[in-house]
Structure 1
Amino acid sequence: MAALPYTWRVIDLHTHSRASDGTDTPRGVLEAAASAGVTVVALTDHDSTAGWDEAAAAVADTGVALVRGIEISTRARTPEGGISVHLLGYLHDREHPALLAELQRTRDDRVQRARRMTERLADDYPVTWEDVVAQTHGGATVGRPHLADALVAAGVVAHRDEAFATMLHPGAPYYVPHYAPDTADAVRAVLAAGGVPVMAHPRAGRRGRVVTEETIAELAEVGLAGLEADHRDHSADDRDRMRGLARELGLLVTGASDYHGVGKQNRLGEHTTDPDVLAEIEERGTLEVLRPWTR
């Protein structure tokens, strides 16, 4: 498909809505993007495309173009053990059966994991399962961000980031792992669904262990298309290293906010993607970018 040049566009390719763990509705994400001067935004909710239709309906009203996407929770199998990897998928067929099955399995296990973590937290803090569920919106799958919001509501922590850095951190005694597909298998599944797989925040070490550059090279061999180099969890050195690695491996380089609304400090448009990169993503994907203007 032929893509328009985005030479004057401000492009943010990683955001979340209430369909997963954001605080804005899908429409609200586009409205917030318009207010922030972002003119192209990707909605990439965790393991879910439930927000796509509402976001699509807001394109004409807000003037913000929409990239339909997803963020898949995966686990890379390495000699050092499993390492959590978040994989962004862009412009894929959301009805692809193999990908749908993996996403459903992940969402189901997330709920059970959240219950177990809540039970552990309840031994030391004033939080119940009902408190956690109350923090979800519109049928979103319960996850760690909703546990964090319940802890904020109970006055245990000041904000989500504090909860994630302490009691919800993978090294904390309250933490419980959840099912996640193998990263290489997830890359293949996104490709099979006609999408474009990009590794989210590959150097975000404060979230836990990160994969090696050798592992990223192995993923590139099975079809990984890009690296999200520009992200608030990356230092300047991290960004340079990921850009250099992307050049070596022939991968695309993206940047984004990882916006979650008021739950986190991330601000829309704080990191962006080059227009030519988005044009290449659209060229490779099955779906088109939804535009408020006519091609």
Structure 2
Amino acid sequence: MNRVHDQAATGEADLHTHSTVSDGTEAPAELMRQAARAGLWGVALTDHDTTSGWAEAAAAVPETGVALIPGMELSTREGYTSVHMLAYLIDPLDEALIAETAHIRESRFTRAEAIVRSIGRDYPLTWDDVLAQTVEGTTIGRPHIADALVARGHAATRSAAFDGILHPRAGYARPHYAPDPLTGVRLIREAGGVPVLAHPGTRGAERVIPPERLEQLVEAGLFGLEIDHPENRADAKPRLRALASRFGLRITGSSDYHGTGKPNRLGECRTAPDVVEAIVAEGRGSAPVLP
């Protein structure tokens, strides 16, 4: 995963996408083909807590003409709140990161089993129903439970499942293990990667990470904030931009594409070429794969 073209020029990229390796609905190669159709210069594959889709996506670069920025969406947790950290150009063989993501994936798996057992007491749903929504090597999570609920006729869409049976108010939700965000930033940097705080404005301005906590993340090596994201609330974005300016953070744009798993459109939010170039310049763990 260190093949890089000699040409240094970069273009607009969508830096947050998911494949069937986690909770997207398209295989990594198909995602790359979709990126070509969207007219993107590059795309980052950022499956949850895994890098196992990189090889297939990289193999599709010559066919599609789309650059691949290898990445991952690392799960972290601040108290009871899930905080996702995008990790670009990490070393996929870094032992500390491998150990931590293995712990997270195992916890995701046991959490999913517990949720299914709980739902199964009230609705016809089994673990086999969930497995039928995955492929070999998938990082299993709640989206696959949602897809199983849709397949069983208990919800119309994945989003409807999250708004209904899988909503915390329904009583089936369970937490899974994840390190705190500060540990996450340090792990990413120690693995040679570039950390960006994912969609920090989805809960509104009052829930954006406090400045004092953000300062700690910056001191640990946080590179940027994913502000241009379709799920960030409009009332949160001005404060986020002010925080980015205050702490010298770069602003990224991404769709958080999941195929048909979310309404988000590939390339609807993009990262500027100069920011992509800065990420590439800082990444030490792996390199982009360019046509």
TM-score by length of 1: 0.92
Could you tell me how far 1:151 is from its partner in structure 2? Answer: 0.8
Q: Check 1:168–1:3 CA distance in 2 against 1; reply closer, same or farther (3 A cut).
A: farther
Runs of 4+ aligned structure 1 residues displaced above 6 Å come to none
Secondary structure in 2 aligned to 1:277?
helix
Residue of structure 1 equivalent to 2:117: 119
Q: Quick check: 1:201 aligned with 2:199? A: yes
Write the distance in 2 (CA, Å) between the matches of 1:162 and 1:211: 28
Could you tell me how far 1:198 is from its partner in structure 2? Answer: 0.4
Corresponding letter in the other structure for 1:4:
A
Could you tell me how far 1:249 is from its partner in structure 2? Answer: 0.5
Residue of structure 1 equivalent to 2:51: 49
CA contact (8 A) 2:147 2:158 kept: yes
Corresponding letter in the other structure for 1:119:
R
Residue of structure 2 equivalent to 1:291: 290
Secondary structure in 2 aligned to 1:85?
strand
Write the distance in 2 (CA, Å) between the matches of 1:278 and 1:272: 10
Corresponding letter in the other structure for 2:75:
S
CA deviation string 1:241-285 (max 9, x = no partner): 212211111111101000011111111001000110010000000
Could you tell me how far 1:84 is from its partner in structure 2? Answer: 1.1
Could you tell me how far 1:213 is from its partner in structure 2? Answer: 3.4
Corresponding letter in the other structure for 2:176:
H
Could you tell me how far 1:97 is from its partner in structure 2? Answer: 0.4
Could you tell me how far 1:166 is from its partner in structure 2? Answer: 2.7
Residue of structure 2 equivalent to 1:262: 260
Write the distance in 2 (CA, Å) between the matches of 1:219 and 1:190: 12
Residue of structure 1 equivalent to 2:269: 271
Could you tell me how far 1:210 is from its partner in structure 2? Answer: 5.0
Write the distance in 1 (CA, Å) between the matches of 2:149 and 2:126: 10
Quick one: which of 237, 240, 255 aligns to 1:239? 237
Residue of structure 2 equivalent to 1:158: 156
Could you tell me how far 1:199 is from its partner in structure 2? Answer: 0.5
Q: What is the number of equivalent residue pairs in this alignment?
A: 285
Quick one: which of 28, 31, 35 aligns to 1:33? 35
Write the distance in 1 (CA, Å) between the matches of 2:169 and 2:216: 27
Q: How does 1:29-108 map to 2 (within 5 A)?
A: 29-76=31-78, 81-108=79-106
Q: Which runs of 5+ in 2 are unaligned?
A: none
Could you tell me how far 1:171 is from its partner in structure 2? Answer: 4.2
CA contact (8 A) 1:203 1:238 kept: yes
Write the distance in 2 (CA, Å) between the matches of 1:60 and 1:242: 37
Write the distance in 2 (CA, Å) between the matches of 1:251 and 1:85: 18
CA contact (8 A) 1:91 1:194 kept: yes
Residue of structure 2 equivalent to 1:144: 142
Secondary structure in 1 aligned to 2:209?
coil
Write the distance in 1 (CA, Å) between the matches of 2:165 and 2:64: 38
Corresponding letter in the other structure for 1:93:
D
CA contact (8 A) 1:159 1:264 kept: no
What percent of counterpart residues are identical?
Answer: 52
CA deviation string 1:157-186 (max 9, x = no partner): 121112222322344400010110111111
TM-score by length of 2: 0.93
Write the distance in 1 (CA, Å) between the matches of 2:36 and 2:140: 28
Q: Quick check: 1:133 aligned with 2:131? A: yes
Q: Which runs of 5+ in 1 are unaligned?
A: none
Could you tell me how far 1:93 is from its partner in structure 2? Answer: 0.4
Could you tell me how far 1:5 is from its partner in structure 2? Answer: 3.1
Residue of structure 1 equivalent to 2:8: 4
Secondary structure in 1 aligned to 2:263?
coil
The CA RMSD over aligned residues, in Å, is 1.8
Write the distance in 1 (CA, Å) between the matches of 2:243 and 2:80: 22
Write the distance in 1 (CA, Å) between the matches of 2:157 and 2:208: 24
Quick one: which of 215, 219, 222 aligns to 2:220? 222
CA contact (8 A) 2:203 2:233 kept: no
